[in-house]
C-alpha cells in the first residue's frame, strides 16, 4: 500500500472539476489498496476521513471575490505537513503556487507528477491580458501542431474531419511536413 498525497490549491467545498477529479482519483486509489491523502487549503487546519481518503486541510488565505476559495501561501507549513505525511508518491495539481513541491519530492526520492487542470494560455492571459491566445491548428494533413481534443480527432475513419474552426498555426512547420 502506497501513501499517495494529492496537493492542490483552488479547491473549495463547492468547486467543480478539480474537486470532482481529485475525489474520483482518490476513490480509485482506495479501491486499489492505496492510502490517498488530499492536501488542500481550508478555513482551519483539519484531518478528516472521507469516502475518497484522508482530507488534510491547512488554514489558507481567503481569495477575494472567488466564492469561497482559499490559497495555501505559507510554503513552510505546506512542506512541514508534507514531511509529516511521508508520501510514497506525490501529485501536484497547481504549478503556479505549489511548484516548490517538485524540488521537495526530488530531494527525498519521492516520485512526483504534475497534474494540470488548467490551460497555460488561460493562466498567462490572467497576467498578460490580451497578449496570449490559444495555439491553433489549421487542419489535418498540414503538418502543424495537433491539439489532442479537436473536433476532428475523434471522427471515425473515412468521415470528413472539419478544420474550419482552426486558424493558422503559430508553430513552425516541421521540415518533414508534407505540403
Write the pLDDT tens digit of every residue in 30-39: 999 999 999 9
**Is the separation of the CB atoms in 166 and 146 below 8 Å?**
no
Please state, in angstroms and rounded to a whole number, the distance separating the CA atoms of residues 72 and 176.
Answer: 46
Is the per-residue pLDDT at 59 higher than 80?
yes
pLDDT band at 176 (very low <50, low <70, confident <90, very high): very low
pLDDT band at 106 (very low <50, low <70, confident <90, very high): very high
**Is the separation of the CB atoms in 45 and 59 below 8 Å?**
yes
Residue 179 has a pLDDT of 43
H helices of 109-172, in order, are 120-127
pLDDT band at 173 (very low <50, low <70, confident <90, very high): very low
CATH code 3.40.50.2000 region(s) in the chain? 3-127
- What does residue 102 show for φ and ψ, rounded to 5 degrees? -60, -55
Is the per-residue pLDDT at 53 higher than 90?
yes
In the chain, pLDDT over 90 holds for what percent of residues?
43
Ranked by mean pLDDT, the top range of 56-70, 77-91, 108-122 is 77-91
Paired strand residues for 55: 38, 48
62-66's contacts with Cβ under 8 Å and 24+ in sequence apart are 63/10, 66/12
SS3 label, residue 92: strand
Q: Which residues contact 128 (CB under 8 A, 6 or more apart)?
A: none
- What does residue 168 show for φ and ψ, rounded to 5 degrees? -65, 145
- What letter would DSSP give residue 32? T
Buried b (16+ CB within 10 A) or exposed e, 84-112: ebebebbbbbbbebbeebeebbeeeebeb
Q: What is the arithmetic mean of pLDDT over 18-37?
A: 91
Is the per-residue pLDDT at 149 higher than 50?
no
Query: Candidates 3.40.50.2000, 3.30.365.10, 3.40.50.300, 3.40.50.20; correct CATH number of 3-127?
Result: 3.40.50.2000
Please state, in angstroms and rounded to a whole number, the distance separating the CA atoms of residues 138 and 144.
Answer: 7
pLDDT digits (tens, 9 = 90+) for 65-93: 877 888 998 999 999 999 999 999 999 98
Amino acid at each position: 500500500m502506497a501513501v499517495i498525497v494529492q496537493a492542490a490549491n483552488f479547491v473549495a467545498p463547492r468547486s467543480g472539476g478539480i474537486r470532482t477529479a481529485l475525489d474520483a482519483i482518490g476513490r480509485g486509489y482506495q479501491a486499489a489498496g492505496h492510502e490517498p491523502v488530499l492536501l488542500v487549503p481550508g478555513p482551519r487546519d483539519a484531518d478528516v476521513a472521507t469516502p475518497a481518503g484522508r482530507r488534510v486541510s491547512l488554514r489558507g488565505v481567503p481569495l477575494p471575490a472567488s466564492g469561497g476559495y482559499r490559497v495555501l501561501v505559507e510554503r513552510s507549513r505546506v512542506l512541514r505537513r508534507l514531511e509529516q505525511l511521508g508520501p510514497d508518491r506525490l501529485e501536484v495539481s497547481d504549478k503556479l503556487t505549489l511548484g516548490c513541491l517538485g524540488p521537495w519530492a526530488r530531494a527525498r526520492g519521492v516520485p512526483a507528477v504534475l497534474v494540470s487542470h488548467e490551460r497555460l494560455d488561460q493562466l498567462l492571459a490572467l497576467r498578460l491580458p490580451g497578449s496570449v491566445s490559444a495555439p491553433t491548428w489549421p487542419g489535418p494533413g498540414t503538418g502543424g501542431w495537433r491539439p489532442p481534443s479537436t473536433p476532428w480527432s475523434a471522427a471515425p475513419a473515412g468521415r470528413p474531419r472539419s478544420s474550419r474552426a482552426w486558424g493558422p498555426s503559430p508553430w513552425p512547420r516541421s521540415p518533414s511536413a508534407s505540403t
